Amino acid sequence: MGNIKMTKISTDVLVIGGGIAGVFAAVNAARQGLRVVMVDKGKVGLSGMTIWADTFCIFDEAAGHRPEDWHEAVSVNGDYINNRDYLDMMITDSAARWQDLLEWGAIGTDKFGKALRKQIRACKIETVERTMLTDLLIEEGQVAGAIGFSIDQPDCIALAAKAVVMCAGAGGYRPHGFPISNMTFDGDGMAYRAGLPISGKEFSDPHNTNAAYPGYSWGIGDIKWGPGIVKTGPPQRPKPGHLRGLSLDPYYQAHEGKAPIVMNPPMGGPQGPYPGFKYKADHPGPQVMLGGGATGMSVHKAEGIVPADENCGTALPGLFAAGDALSSMLCGGRYSGIGFSFAGSAVQGFRAGKAAADYASQTLLIDITESKITPLKEKIFEPLQRSQGFTSAWTTQMLQAAMFPYYILYIKKEDRLLGALANITFLSEHCAPRLFAKDLHELRSVHETRNMILNAEMKLRASIFRKESRGMHYREDYPARDDDQFLAWVHVHKGEDGAMQVKKVPVPENWRPSADVSYEERYVHRFPGEMEYLKKIGQI
Amino acid sequence: MTIEKIEGCNGCKACFDVCPMDVIRMNEESGLAEIRYPQDCQVCNLCVVFCPVDAITLNKEKYRPLMTAWG
């Protein structure tokens, strides 16, 4: 460890992750006159899922949008486990955040990341890039900063901060399609290790892609930069047989033996083909669907750190979270409408930045003790000391093999989930501690792989626990909603003995659907085998 | 799809500066961008979009390492 440098940085507010949530959090914290540092594994403003964004949904009163319509649409679509407070936040703030992006010059350009970076510089926000943070630092029961390493030189980086905003996004298991490969649930990993509850893990997002263009998702693919970000309209209440948001239909078909499933080639995004668009000519006709390119990712805004209030606070004093790192349950169990993800992250980031600044203004910087830093530093760099063991690349492949098949996270059943869990437990207990890294690039992969394995365990345990079907969580063995038991969120946290604990937390009484409304009317979307199952157990 | 080649690089570092995945590094001797970790390319196209001299080519093959029985 002698050749590893130690860099210490102090700030008022630390923002972890430089996607759209992080950018808005940092900008708003800086606007309060505080010193702000942003840390990103790659580059701020060009980070996480933000680089794939193309739509922004705003609440537009002038266009006749009504809050009650939005609530109705999202609740019905999300199977009533959406968080209405966070939808109110979006209704209140989304138009203002769109206006910010317009003023920053981020709209109508194929290089909106550049505009975001310009704004970061204009607000005099310091950036620490190509740096992966691995652990939160906690002193006296409150967050005191975070620690990690540079991927460019052997340098351990400890940041002391009065408040921290977690904007590290969600993740996938390095999927082949809808490539979100730099997203590895790092924020959830850090928060879980710090003892915080994590939720929303059982709801799977498909984001289907095709064989010819694995990078293609929603018709945007690798020409997505053409239209830039476009404004989208209100969420629609789903009609029977027609679903807004993403669907499990291809998985049902595959499960019936109707594979391969095909999908049409990319069409250039919501605005139609982009000038220069040539894929149609290259690959005419439908292509074989790969299934969920984003395998491992949850419904946007579902998985993440459990909020402790209506303003992006968490159970750890001084720690705030926003965007896909926060289990805001903005959409509930199923994605609500095009543009909810990007707009939701912007809105939450802005609020979290203010809340963190308010907290930091009333807090003194806590000295981070050497006794906290030294063991973490050793743990971070320990894979570099080992010359044998398991590679992160191979371990990630084994993780993919355990988690990618459609019959694990999409069409679920207890025996298969338990089988996958046995595999993941082995990777967690046997392989993760023996991962080795030849260089700092591989060290990043090692820590990412560990976060992916931890997340896989959360997803499987949450899926086993929720013995019903709801939103994008479909259990073949329990193919209907069970309102008596599961109008609730499933929380996982690290128990005192280090083992993962699972529990449910009921949705507030006044957010539940009226018992006077029939089951079929309450729940518009039908799962395969649902009505037969309800008849069998005497519910209808 | 993955990054395939960089030809005609002018050494401006734009691609290195935008890659979220550490696929591209600057060669210390030549001062030019090179593909160092293609297996991590997530096909975000940022390098292509930001390159001022159109030096970067992505191909239609996704880099997929073979699975082996042990690592």
ipTM: 0.87
β partners of residue A291: A209
Instruction: Decide if B20 is inside a domain.
Output: yes
How confident is the model at residue A15, as a pLDDT? 98
How confident is the model at residue B1, as a pLDDT? 53
CB contacts, 8 Å: A182 with chain B? 20-21, 42
How confident is the model at residue A276, as a pLDDT? 44
How far apart CA A11 and CA A251 sit, in angstroms, is: 48
Pairing verdict, β B24-26 and B33-35: antiparallel
What is the number of structural domains in chain B?
1
B20·A151 Cβ contact <8 A:
no
Instruction: Decide if B64 is inside a domain.
Output: no
Instruction: Decide if B44 is inside a domain.
Output: yes
Whether A444 and chain B come into contact, CB under 8 Å, resolves to: yes
Residues contacting A513, CB < 8 A, separation 6+: A75, A80, A483, A522
How confident is the model at residue A237, as a pLDDT? 82
- pLDDT by residue (tens digit) across A23-76? 999 999 999 999 999 999 999 999 888 888 888 999 999 999 999 999 999 999
How confident is the model at residue A409, as a pLDDT? 93
Residue A372 backbone phi and psi in degrees, to 5: -85, -40
Whether B62 and chain A come into contact, CB under 8 Å, resolves to: yes
Instruction: Decide if B14 is inside a domain.
Output: yes
Whether A405 and chain B come into contact, CB under 8 Å, resolves to: no
Q: Which residue range(s) make up the domain with B41?
A: 3-58
Residues contacting A91, CB < 8 A, separation 6+: A59, A67, A70
> For residues A484-503, b (16+ Cβ closer than 10 Å) or e, as one string?
eebbbbbbbbbeeeeebebe
Instruction: Decide if B67 is inside a domain.
Output: no
Instruction: Decide if B65 is inside a domain.
Output: no
Residues contacting A514, CB < 8 A, separation 6+: none
**3-state secondary structure string across A433-498:** HHECCCCHHHHHHHHHHHHHHHHHHHHHHHHHHCCCCECCECECCCCCCCHHHHCEEEEEEECCCC
- For B20, the closest of A47, A213, A445 (CB atoms) is A47
Residue of B nearest to A398 (CA): B67
How confident is the model at residue A285, as a pLDDT? 61
How far apart CA A325 and CA A303 sit, in angstroms, is: 7
- For B18, the closest of A41, A46, A52 (CB atoms) is A46
How far apart CA B7 and CA B16 sit, in angstroms, is: 15
- pLDDT by residue (tens digit) across A371-395? 999 999 999 999 999 999 999 999 9
How confident is the model at residue A320, as a pLDDT? 98
Q: State the first-to-last Cα distance of chain A, in angstroms, to the nearest integer.
A: 66
Closest CA to A318 of A526, A66, A29, A108: A29
Structure tokens at A492: 């996982």
CB contacts, 8 Å: A46 with chain B? 18, 20, 46
Whether B67 and chain A come into contact, CB under 8 Å, resolves to: yes
How far apart CA A118 and CA A105 sit, in angstroms, is: 9
How far apart CA A276 and CA A518 sit, in angstroms, is: 51
Contact assessment for residue B6 and residue B26, using Cβ atoms and an 8 Å cutoff = no
Residues contacting A57, CB < 8 A, separation 6+: A90, A94, A231, A232, A233, A234, A235, A337, A338, A339, A340, A342, A343
Q: What is the pTM of this model?
A: 0.94
Instruction: Decide if B38 is inside a domain.
Output: yes
How confident is the model at residue A94, as a pLDDT? 97
How confident is the model at residue A279, as a pLDDT? 46
Instruction: Decide if B63 is inside a domain.
Output: no
Place of tokens 């936040």: A89
What are the residue ranges in chain B where pLDDT is below 50?
A: none
Q: State the first-to-last Cα distance of chain B, in angstroms, to the nearest integer.
A: 25
Whether B57 and chain A come into contact, CB under 8 Å, resolves to: no
* CATH code of residue B23: 3.30.70.20
What are the residue ranges in chain A where pLDDT is below 70?
A: 1-2, 176-179, 209-227, 240-245, 263-293
A222·B19 Cβ contact <8 A:
no
